[in-house]
Structure 1
């Protein structure tokens, strides 16, 4: 693949594109700019909801972002949601009911639109007092479709909890994880970063062989599989989760060392 070059750059955000200061470095912005001038755009693929994308928009100005692990396609420039693939109310009730029965100390939150609602006992790590954040009962939260259901446990180890959630959910929905906490992220059945990425690529007449994808956490694995199996490059950051490192075609420097820019600079333009 010595002469291989991408037609689409896709990157996760946290732990990948951003440094430890939550900023895209000047080095990375400059490298992305050079590729954009060569006709190769950037697509973001993140577990973040749209409400967490304003700071990214300020740094990039424009572009598309696959948000909520594939459930939402966001136009950064207009800050408009172009597509949504929500979890239905029937599935929400089924999944939350089964999880609560299996592990009573599982607490829930939901993302939809620009809103984040959580049970009073659920302990969010960020945006505790931000606009759009509110308390709700579980009954209220499952009364409408949502982009993402979050299940958290304060005492179980992360891997054990996420595996338990996946077992309970089965094929009713899609379970992933992008946190060091015991936090399971639940999307509609079949919805992943890979499905969101594939739709955007297809609209441009591109396939996995045209894509370089950068990621660091288990919620990137579906996209890694799609890219790798189709002949593209699935690039793990040096700081990535072990499962992501194992699934990668390539490994680059850590997010704190401009790993995305380092790898892109090594490719022919």
Structure 2
């Protein structure tokens, strides 16, 4: 595949495109601009909600972002949501009731895209004293469709907690994780970064064989498998989670060494 070149580039943000200080290096911006000038679109594929995309928009300017692990497509230039695949209220209520029964000290938050609600005991790690974030009861949070349900536990082993969530949820939703905490991210059935990137690829007339995707955590696995099985390139960062490394076609250097730019330059 030495002469292979992508027709679409997709990348995770945290731990992948972004350096540890939350910045995108000048070298990475220049490399992405070079590809975009040649007509190759760049897609962000992240667990982040749309309201966390303002800073990266100032760097990249335009393009499409797959947010909330595939549940939301965001047009970066006008900052407008162009497609959604939410969890419906009946599913939210059934899932939270079952999880609370099996592990009573599980606490919940709900991501709506532009808004975030969390139970009083659920302590947000980043969204503190900012607009759009508020405390709510579980009944209030699950009364409207949501892009993503978050389940957190304060003391369980992270992998054991995610396994518990997966077992209880079953096929009622898609469960993934991208944190070192005991935090599970729950989306509508079948919704993953793969489905989100796939929708964008379809808009550009591109198949998985012509896509390169970069990532570092288990919430990238579905996208890696979609690209790998379709003949494209699934590129893990050197520090990536072992489960992601196991399904990668390639490995690049870490995010603080501009691994995305380095791999693209090698093409």
Q: TM-score, normalised by structure 1?
A: 0.98
Equivalent residue, structure 1, for 2:46: 46
String of CA shifts for 1:70-126, please: whole Å, max 9, x gaps: 000000000000001100111001100000000000000001131110000011111
Tell me, in whole angstroms, the C-alpha distance in 2 between the residues paired with 1:97 and 1:203.
38
Tell me, in whole angstroms, the C-alpha distance in 2 between the residues paired with 1:113 and 1:155.
28
Equivalent residue, structure 2, for 1:170: 170
Tell me, in whole angstroms, the C-alpha distance in 2 between the residues paired with 1:35 and 1:242.
29
Equivalent residue, structure 2, for 1:56: 56
Tell me, in whole angstroms, the C-alpha distance in 2 between the residues paired with 1:5 and 1:118.
44
1:143 and 2:148 are equivalent in the alignment: no
Tell me, in whole angstroms, the C-alpha distance in 2 between the residues paired with 1:234 and 1:113.
27
Q: How far off is 1:41 after superposition?
A: 1.4
Q: How far off is 1:182 after superposition?
A: 0.5
Q: Which runs of 5+ in 2 are unaligned?
A: none
Tell me, in whole angstroms, the C-alpha distance in 1 between the residues paired with 2:15 and 2:218.
12
Q: How far off is 1:128 after superposition?
A: 1.4
String of CA shifts for 1:134-162, please: whole Å, max 9, x gaps: 00000100011100000000100110000
Q: How far off is 1:37 after superposition?
A: 1.2
Cα RMSD of the aligned pairs, angstroms, is 0.6
Equivalent residue, structure 1, for 2:31: 31
Secondary structure in 2 matching 1:171? helix
Tell me, in whole angstroms, the C-alpha distance in 1 between the residues paired with 2:228 and 2:193.
14
Equivalent residue, structure 2, for 1:224: 224
Secondary structure in 2 matching 1:22? coil
Secondary structure in 2 matching 1:213? strand
Tell me, in whole angstroms, the C-alpha distance in 2 between the residues paired with 1:126 and 1:145.
23
Equivalent residue, structure 2, for 1:197: 197
Q: TM-score, normalised by structure 2?
A: 0.99
Equivalent residue, structure 1, for 2:83: 83
Q: Which runs of 5+ in 1 are unaligned?
A: none
Tell me, in whole angstroms, the C-alpha distance in 2 between the residues paired with 1:214 and 1:265.
14
**Where does 1:1-269 land on structure 2 (aligned, <5 Å)?**
1-267=1-267
Runs of 4+ aligned residues of structure 1 deviating over 6 Å after TM superposition are none
String of CA shifts for 1:201-252, please: whole Å, max 9, x gaps: 1121111000000000000000000000000000000111111111100000
Equivalences, count: 267
Tell me, in whole angstroms, the C-alpha distance in 2 between the residues paired with 1:199 and 1:72.
11
